[in-house]
């Protein structure tokens, strides 16, 4: 059994989990406009559904406004409809190929809902890490069963991996707290 390869795999998978969490958090709306707010919006154009960033440029001219510049003006109505139907509670206004989105201030109730959603994202990341941990620990146990490593090595490897998971878990908690503070700040 190659422990260094296993540890590298665990590091890579947990880093990917953190990256996914950061992307999900970027799409959550806080008190100010973020170009990542529209990352999840898919637009039906050219016979298929494409991510919004492949048919338009999203910019934030100020803290309460997003500007979506559609590259092909004939797609503007489809982009506008996709944004309206996205469930983000945004009301697009179109002027030519440019769509403006004014973000109303968040209500206290909506902020609390967003905190719950961010908590759910953090919990999903932790579940993903637990699955990665379970898989890695299973590989170590199989190596002991197959007499590839000793029980002393098993304990050493498991302790070493546990430190990785504790560090990544702390990272998830820190990101979740930052996002919650971001959402609740007026």
Question: Tens digit of pLDDT for each residue in 33-87?
Answer: 778 888 778 899 888 999 988 899 999 888 788 899 988 888 889 999 998 887 7
Summarize pLDDT for 124-158 with one digit per residue, the tens.
999 999 999 999 999 999 999 999 999 899 999 99
pLDDT at 186: 63
Same domain, 44 and 95: yes
- Per-residue pLDDT at 29: 66
- Dump pLDDT digits (tens) for 78-137: 999 998 887 777 888 888 778 998 887 778 887 888 888 889 989 999 999 999 999 999
- CB of 55 within 8 A of CB of 46? no
Run of H or E including 53: none
For 66, the token pair is 């997003």
Whose tokens are 């109303």? That residue is 104
Structural domain tally of the chain?
A: 2
Q: In whole numbers, what is the pLDDT of the chain averaged over residues?
A: 88
Whether residues 157 and 67 share a domain: the answer is: no
Burial of 120 (0-12, 13-18, 19+ CB in 10 A): exposed
Q: Judge if 67 and 44 occupy the same domain.
A: yes
**Same domain, yes or no: 97 and 162:** no
Q: Please list the residues that pair with 44 across neighbouring strands.
A: 49
Tokens 């989105």: give the residue.
101
- Enclosing domain of residue 13: 3-26+107-184
- How far is the CA of 106 from the CAs of 89, 168, 177, in angstroms? 11, 31, 19
**Cα–Cα dist 43/21, whole Å:** 23
Asked if residue 145 and residue 93 are part of one domain, the reply reads no
The verdict on 171 and 111 lying in the same domain is yes
How far, in Å, are 51, 102, 138, 169, 172 from residue 17 at the CA level? 21, 32, 20, 11, 9
Q: Last residue of some domain: 102, 122, 141?
A: 102
Q: What are phi and psi of 98, to 5 degrees?
A: -110, 130
Question: Are residue 13 and residue 82 in the same domain, yes or no?
Answer: no
Contact 2, 153 (CB under 8 A): no
Which CATH number is 124's domain given?
A: 1.10.132.20
Secondary structure of 109-138 as H, E, C letters: HHHHHHHHHHHHHHHHHHHHHHHHHHHHHH
Give the model's confidence band at 170: pLDDT under 50 very low, under 70 low, under 90 confident, else very high.
Answer: very high
């Amino acid at each position: 059994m190659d422990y260094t390869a296993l540890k590298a795999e665990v590091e890579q998978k947990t880093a990917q989990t953190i990256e996914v969490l950061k992307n999900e958090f970027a799409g959550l709306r806080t008190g100010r406009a973020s170009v990542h707010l529209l990352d999840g919006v898919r637009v039906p154009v050219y016979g298929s559904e494409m991510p919004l960033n492949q048919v338009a440029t999203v910019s934030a001219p100020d803290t309460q406004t997003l500007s979506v510049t559609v590259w092909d003006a004939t797609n503007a109505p489809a982009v506008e409809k996709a944004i309206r139907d996205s469930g983000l509670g945004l009301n697009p206004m179109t002027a030519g190929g440019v769509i403006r989105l004014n973000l109303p201030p968040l209500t206290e109730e909506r902020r609390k809902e967003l905190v719950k959603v961010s908590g759910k994202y953090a919990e999903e990341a932790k579940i993903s890490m637990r699955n990665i941990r379970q898989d890695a620990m299973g590989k170590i146990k199989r190596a002991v069963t197959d007499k590839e490593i000793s029980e002393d090595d098993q304990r050493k490897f498991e302790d070493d991996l546990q430190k990785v998971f504790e560090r990544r878990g702390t990272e998830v908690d820190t990101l979740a707290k930052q996002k919650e503070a971001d959402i609740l700040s007026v």
